[in-house]
Amino acid sequence: MYQPVLKLDDVTIYQGNNAVLTNVNLEVNPGEFLYIIGKTGTGKSSFMKTLYGDLPLKSGKGTFVDYDLAKLRDKHIPYLRRKIGIVFQDFKLLPDRSVYDNLLFVLKATGWSEKREMDVKINEVLDKVGMKNAVHKMPHQISGGEQQRVAIARALLNDPEVILADEPTGNLDPQTSVEVMQLLKEINQNGKTIIMATHDYALLMKFPSKTLKCDSGSLFEVVQKTV
């Protein structure tokens, strides 16, 4: 019997002092692909930030990749984040260093030290996302879609249990969005759990999966209509 990678019981999600989602009950099992949808301001990003430790869990019980979110302290957050990969809407690549050095920076920051092992790992994750040929390029020399592929490679560096993708296609054109989604689906089919916040309903129709909606302070499952 699998342990859920995420389990929330009667959780309230706060943004500052404002409760944005109440009575959240959720289990996510290993290997699932879960969408979180909803309009801007309904709590999607606050939900994601609570999972990766940017916002505290003030109310209810929550465990995520074996961490008790209610007892999470600042000193625990780097260790929590080593067990997850995070992909943001705006890529968050360091503009003053190459693709290789962006990934090297993360490895060093998470305790890697052997140069040969780091080289092997960087080449491995770039190969997975089809970006091995961009290893020495600067972020401004590659397209937005390619930058997001590099960001996904970065998220894979420490072989995370879960990838949190917060609006990963938000800055991309429709065709590039589809390519990034195909990549995320492929990663999911290889066993990674993915939780993705999005407002792109076209992608949901094209790549259907379990979907939860943030609306009027609640998070609830919605049944997708087939096209």
- Asked if residue 102 lies in contact with residue 154, where contact means CB atoms within 8 angstroms, the answer is yes
- CA–CA distance, 37 with 111 (Å, rounded to integer): 35
> What local confidence, expressed as pLDDT, does residue 1 receive?
63
For residue 58, count other CB atoms closer than 10 A to its CB.
Answer: 14
Average pLDDT, the chain: 94
Q: What would the pLDDT profile of 1-25 be if each residue is shown by its tens digit? A: 679 999 999 999 999 899 999 999 9
- What's the confidence (pLDDT) of residue 227? 37
Q: What is the Cα 112 distance to its own chain's centre?
A: 22
Which of 39, 61, 49, 65 has its CA nearest to residue 16? 49
Distances (CA, A) of 80 to 51, 97, 157: 9, 26, 14
* Distance of alpha carbon 183 from alpha carbon 176, whole angstroms: 11
Residue whose C-alpha is closest to residue 22's, from 184, 152, 217: 217
- How far CA 60 is from CA of 10, 19, 80, 86, in Å, comes to 5, 12, 19, 24
- Domains in the chain (CATH in brackets) are 1-83+162-227 (3.40.50.300), 92-159 (no CATH)
167-186 pLDDT, tens digit each? 999 999 999 999 999 999 99
Residue 110: per-residue pLDDT: 86
Determine the pLDDT at residue 2. 73
